[in-house]
Amino acid sequence: MRPNTLLLLSLFSVLVSACCSTKTKEVTSTSGKSDFYDYAWELEYISGPRIAFDGLYPEKKPYIMFKEAGSQFSGNTSCNNYSGKYTKKENNIQLGNSMKTMAFCEGGGEETFLKMLGKVNRLAFDSEGKLLLLTDDIPIMRFKKIAKPN
């Protein structure tokens, strides 16, 4: 490998690390119950797609909810409802295969959302209280707390 290419790759990895590092906190509260159960969390960032976020989700943004009882998660992909089971130990989480309704969805938002959910193996909160779903230590999805949808 040429020295300039190696230098460029090193610089790129430093920049990516700097821009994507986020201070996170553990997912617990004083009551012993995690801060994320029984709330609806609306997606506001997703990594990976080359399409702008608002282009993927022009009308309705995906959301997710976690229930402690039965270790279930559910939500909407911006088009279809989905649900499944998860396993969680401390900040490690595995989302099982989800079932979803089968309405036709335009664009690639639903597919992108479900693909990224399948990559999640950790969770955390950032300094603003937003839910981060991570692959190892890399945030791949960020959600803000919203009022529960009807």
Residue with the larger pLDDT of the pair 10 and 35: 35
Closest to 66 measured CA to CA, from 140, 148, 126: 148
Q: Which residues touch 71 (CB under 8 Å, ≥6 apart)?
A: 85, 86, 87, 88
14-73 confidence digits (pLDDT tens): 333 434 444 444 444 333 345 678 789 999 999 988 889 999 999 999 999 999 999 999
Architecture category of domain 26-146 in CATH: Beta Barrel (2.40)
CA distance 56 to 19: 23
**In this predicted model, what pLDDT tens digit does every residue of 104-116 receive, in sequence order?**
998 899 999 999 9
Token pair for 17: 């690390």
Q: Among candidates 80, 83, 43, 44, which has minimal Cα distance to 67? A: 83
Rounded Cα distance between 25 and 5, Å, is 36
Please state, in angstroms and rounded to a whole number, the distance separating the CA atoms of residues 110 and 54.
13
